[in-house]
Copies of this chain bind each other. A is one copy, B any other.
Amino acid sequence: MTPARGDHDARRADVSRAVWRVLAERGFEGLTLRAVAAEMGASTGLLTHYFPSKRALLKHALDVLDRQSAERPRPAEERAGGAVGLAMLRAVLLDILPLTPQSAAGNRIWVSSWDVALADPDLAAEHAERYRAARRRMTGHVEDARRLGELPAGRPAEDVAAAAQSFVLGLVVQALFAPAEFPAERQTALLDAYLAGIAAA
Number of A residues contacting the other chain (C-beta, 8 Å)?
50
Number of copies of this protein chain within its complex: 2
Label chain A's interface by main secondary structure. Answer: helix
A96-118 residues with Cβ-Cβ distance < 8 A to B are: 108, 111-118
A197→B190 contact, CB < 8 A? no
- Give complex CA distance A30, B120 in Å: 10
Q: A166-B190, A169-B169, A200-B201 are in contact. Are A119 and B112 (CB under 8 A)?
A: yes
| Residue A53 is within 8 A (CB to CB) of chain B in the complex | no
Please name all residues of chain B whose beta carbon is closer than 8 Å to the beta carbon of A174 when the two chains form the complex.
Answer: 131, 162, 165-166, 169
Tell me how far the C-beta of A169 lies from the nearest C-beta in chain B, rounded to whole angstroms: 3
| Residue A132 is within 8 A (CB to CB) of chain B in the complex | yes
Offer 5 A-B interface pairs, CB within 8 angstroms, sorted by A.
Answer: A124-B177, A132-B178, A165-B170, A165-B174, A197-B198
Point out residues on A near B: beta carbons under 8 Å: 25-30, 108, 111-119, 124, 127-128, 131-132, 155, 159, 162-163, 165-174, 176-178, 181-182, 186, 189-190, 193-194, 196-198, 200-201
